[in-house]
Amino acid sequence: TFSMQSIAMSLGAFAGPVAAGQLRSFVSPYFIAFLLLMVALLLLPPKNTGKLSNLTSKWNGRAA
C-alpha cells in the first residue's frame, strides 16, 4: 500500500547514497543501481496470473 511505499522510499533515499558512497571505490554506482533495479523487477508480481481471464470467461456481460 501507500504507507509501505512511503517507508521504502524514505529508507531508500537515505540508505542509497550512503551505500553508494561506501562502495564507490569498489563498484560503480551505476552497477549498484542496475542490480537494485533487477532485484526489484524480480520481486514484482506477474502482471497477468490468469485469474482475471477465468473470471471474465464466466461473465455473460448483460446488465442485471
pLDDT digits (tens, 9 = 90+) for 1-30: 678 888 888 888 888 788 777 877 888 878
Tell me how far the alpha carbon of residue 33 is from its chain's centroid.
Answer: 13
Q: Domain residues of the chain, as ranges?
A: 1-61
Which parts of 1-64 fold into alpha helices (H)?
2-23, 29-43, 51-57
* pTM to 2 decimal places: 0.41
Band the pLDDT of 63: cuts 50, 70, 90.
Answer: low
At 24-43, the pLDDT tens digits run 788 887 887 888 888 888 88
CA 41 to chain centre: 6
Instruction: Assign residue 21 a region (left: φ > 0; alpha: ψ between -120 and 50; beta: otherwise).
Output: alpha
